[in-house]
Amino acid sequence: MLATFIIFLREGIEASLIVSILLTYLNKTGQERHKRDVFWGVASALGLTVVAGTVLYFTVNTYAGSRFQQIFETCTFIVAAVFLTLMTLWMQRHSRAMRGELAQQSERALSKGGRFSMGLLSAQAVGREGIETMVFTLAILFTNSRQSAAPLQNRFLLLGALLGLVVALGVAYAMFKLGTKINLGLFFKVLGSFLMVCAAGLIADAVENLQRLGWVPIGRHILWNSSGLISEQSNIGDVLHQLVGYAEQPTVMQVAMWTSYLAIGVFSFWWFGSSRNATKTA
């Protein structure tokens, strides 16, 4: 629940920032009539994302327990981890320049195609966030499907997603309507670091699946068995698995990949932030 809450909170605020920048540009240039095109683009992107995610989830579930499902889940874990990492690093590096870039794209869209191009721009910008959120959510749902109480757990995951989206909209309203000041730099640093941990957990899940499929024959030795202390089937074990990639019987390769990915990911994340601040100071 907490994992989906965090991802929907973060992506919801990012999407709100994008929409706000587009609307602000239209206000400043006297193009208010194109605001509805922005909203149509946003609605189209969100609708397509929800439909695509739902179709994929139920389609894969028809192959429950099969090799195809395991392969698809493995691909989802890897893609979700890569998306989370790349988009988090991109946001850390380019957040300050995002306003100018979107303004330039808006100007080109209005000069070329007017309403259609403006709607397409907003759909593309928000759709990028939506795809990342969809893939991550699918990865969490597939991971959770191994639990005996998966249907109940899935409801909590979806509830966390809904709460995250509601809070994101509330934060967006506070920022853009009430003038409340929020330290977005610190906000994205904290959530970005957390999402790097989630991405490391997804990589560990992908390694586990690859070893079960027989595609990674090395590093299969189990380092420890902590099922007697914290079982993955328990509520605490399930939460830890979703948050930090906890495994009760991890293999050497799982631990090695989790550690390596987390170390490189967090270092890159903070390095991007530090280099950006250094450039600004210079």
Cβ pair 15, 91 in contact under 8 A? no
* Percent of the chain with pLDDT strictly greater than 90: 18
Long-range contacts formed by 83-86: CB under 8 A, 24+ apart:
83/131, 83/132, 83/135, 83/136, 84/132, 84/136, 84/195, 84/196, 84/198, 84/199, 84/202, 85/196, 85/199, 85/265, 85/268
Count of positions (residues) in the chain = 282
- The residues, any chain, with a CB within 8 Å of residue 175's CB and separated by 6 or more, are 16, 20, 181, 182
Measured between alpha carbons, how far is residue 138 from residues 4, 132, 158, 234 in Å? 10, 10, 11, 21
- Residue among 193, 206, 196 nearest 142 (CA): 206
What is the rounded radius of gyration, in angstroms, for the C-alpha atoms of the chain?
20
pLDDT band at 259 (very low <50, low <70, confident <90, very high): very high
Res. 254 pLDDT band, cuts 50 70 90: very high
pLDDT of 275 strictly over 70:
no
Q: What is the predicted pLDDT for the residue at 282?
A: 47
Mean residue pLDDT across the chain: 80
Classify residue 82 as exposed, middle or buried by CB count within 10 Å of its CB (0-12, 13-18, 19+).
middle
pLDDT (average), residues 188-208 = 84
Q: How confident is the model at residue 122 (pLDDT cuts 50, 70, 90)?
A: confident
Which has the higher per-residue pLDDT, 61 or 227? Answer: 227
136-194 pLDDT per residue, tens = 888 888 777 665 555 656 677 778 888 888 888 887 777 666 655 666 667 777 777 78
Alpha carbon separation from 85 to 110, 192, 193, 198 (Å, rounded): 32, 9, 10, 10
Report the pLDDT value the prediction gives residue 232, as an integer from 0 to 100: 84
pLDDT recorded at residue 93: 66
What mean pLDDT comes out for the span 108-119?
74
Q: Which of 40-54, 111-125, 151-165, 176-190 has the highest mean pLDDT?
A: 40-54
CA 110 to chain centre: 30
Give the contacts of 36 (CB within 8 A, at least 6 positions apart).
Answer: none
CA distance 107 to 217: 53
| Amino acid of residue 76 | T
Whole-number pLDDT of residue 249: 93
Per-residue confidence (pLDDT) for residue 166, from 0 to 100: 86
Q: Is 222 helix (H, G, I), strand (E, B) or coil?
A: strand
Mean pLDDT for the stretch of residues 61-88 = 86
User: pLDDT for 208-240, tens place per residue?
Assistant: 999 999 999 999 999 999 999 998 878 788 778
pLDDT band at 281 (very low <50, low <70, confident <90, very high): very low
